[in-house]
Amino acid sequence: MDRGTPIRYFDHAATSWPKPPAVGKAITGLLERGCANPGRSGHRLSIETARTIFSVRAAAADLLGISDPLRLVFTANATMGLNMAVSGLVRSGDHVITSSMEHNSVMRPLRAMEAAGASLTVLHCDKGGILDPCLVESSIRPETRMIILTHASNVTGTIMPVEAVAAVARERGVLFCLDAAQTAGALPISVEAMGIDILVFTGHKSLYGPQGTGGLYLRRGLEKEMTPLLKGGTGSLSEQEEQPLFMPDRYEPGTPNSPGIAGLGAGIEFVTENGVDTVNKKEKLLLRRFLEGLSCLKKVIVHGTGDPESMIPVVSLSIVGMEPSLVSQVLDEEYSIMTRPGLHCAPAAHRTLGTYPQGTVRFSFGCLTDEEDIDAALEALDTIAG
């Protein structure tokens, strides 16, 4: 095991690393200045923490094309937001449409709702992980309540036809929920312009925030329909024993992760200062270099579209005759290259790709990756496959 080799981090789709230095500074800065309980006590430290949280809410709303920051609720991660949306809006007798490329954070809440009396259509994507929007339209029934879709696959990086699906949903009066866990900060998102009713994102991937942060956007009026998953103290309407009806308090009971949200604010600032388009352009160049290099390697099979224009930098591959877990282990121990092997919490995606049950080796990266990392990964794969 060579511990002297620099670490090449290719597990961005699980969580981004390294973080911009400002993220750690924002977290410790708030803790050191006096991280009091926001919206509760009324003293100046409490007000200051509440101000910090509001400024991050406003920055996140701005980045995601949401005109009213109060429509955005902070959550612990994307999983929490997805559970809130599914369990709060889908009832027994409702029908939901999703794709075969979803993460278990979508699939498991949906399967639980199915067991509780809702019905589910899982639309089969092709071997590239591509969804045909016409399938969505033809699957809508009178009782269809929601279409829920990942923005980009966490297995193949394939970008879904979000705008086409949103248009169908709007036309047919069905709720459209987008899981932007892999794309917030990596692809331009304009929630209102794209016709998204519910957006869920995580803070610790392409927004470069710490783990334990994320959010959910809810279109105006949906708070009358979405039952809160958690109920509790909000610091507002304390004389009432029922959950407040207004946003964001309705869905933010309990003391928030204020230090984490401060860190997320610094991550969002990093993305905003660089510009999502610039980040995207840099990531595409790296992705193209990686895919071109992979195409020259014998015994390496790339799953998904393999087309940098239709994907984010998440690349699943197999080496003929080798278990993904062994490949990842050798990459870590011999080359200090961090990847993820297996099913990546998306078994249906692997059934779609034909990589179930062994899974794949996933290389995922962000804008802090460089060409040297890409070349080192290609060289290591060449040696391992050879």
Ligand X SMILES: Cc1ncc(COP(=O)(O)O)c(C=O)c1O
Q: Which of residues 145-174 bind ligand X (CB under 6 A)?
A: 150, 154
Task: Dihedral sign for Cα 340, 349, 60, 276, please.
Answer: positive
Interface with ligand X (CB under 6 A), residue from 214, 260, 324, 366: 214
The binder of ligand X chosen from 16, 46, 79, 318 (CB under 6 A):
79
8 Å CB contact between 107 and 120: no
HSE-CB of 155 using CA atoms within 13 angstroms: 31
CB of 286 to ligand X, least distance (A): 19
Question: Smallest Cα–Cα separation from 315: which of 330, 335, 347, 293?
Answer: 293
Question: Closest CB to ligand X among 11 and 334?
Answer: 11
Torsion of CA 128, 94, 76, 69, to 10 degrees: 100
**Contact status, residue 166 vs residue 195, Cβ threshold 8 Å:** yes
Stretch that binds ligand X, among 74-82, 320-328, 354-362, 371-379 (CB under 6 A): 74-82
For the bound state, the minimum distance from the C-beta of residue 298 to ligand X, rounded and expressed in Å, comes to: 30
Considering the rule CB under 6 A, would residue 181 count as an interface residue with ligand X?
Answer: yes
| Residue 202 touches ligand X, criterion: CB under 6 A | yes
- Pair type for strands 314-319 and 198-202: unpaired
* 97-126 footprint of ligand X as x/- string (CB under 6 A): ------x-x---------------------
Per CB under 6 A, the list member of 179, 252, 269, 373 interacting with ligand X is 179
The answer to the question of residue 182 lying near ligand X (CB under 6 A) is yes
Per CB under 6 A, which region of 51-59, 176-184, 246-254, 271-279 contacts ligand X? 176-184
> Per rule CB under 6 A, is residue 269 in the interface with ligand X?
no
Q: How far is the CB of 328 from ligand X (least distance, A)?
A: 16
Site size toward ligand X (CB under 6 A) is 12
State the minimum distance, in angstroms, from the CB of residue 79 to ligand X: 3
Residue 295: other Cβ atoms inside 10 A: 10
Q: Based on CB atoms, which residue is closest to ligand X, 46 or 83?
A: 83
Question: At its nearest, how many Å lie between ligand X and the CB of residue 332?
Answer: 19
Under the criterion CB under 6 A, does residue 78 sit at the interface with ligand X? yes
Task: Point out which span in 83-91, 117-125, 178-186, 288-296 binds ligand X (CB under 6 A).
Answer: 178-186
Which residues does residue 9 pair with via DSSP β-bridges, in sequence order?
338
Give me the catalytic one of 35, 125, 345, 367.
345
Q: How far is the CB of 143 from ligand X (least distance, A)?
A: 26
Known active-site residue 345: yes
Q: How far is CA 52 from the centre of its chain?
A: 23
With CB under 6 A as the contact rule, the residue among 16, 49, 77, 280 that binds ligand X is 77
Q: Which two tokens stand for residue 159?
A: 């970008």
Closest CA to 211 of 76, 55, 37: 76
Interacting residues with ligand X (CB under 6 A):
77-79, 103, 105, 150, 154, 179, 181-182, 202, 214
- Catalogue the active-site residues: 345
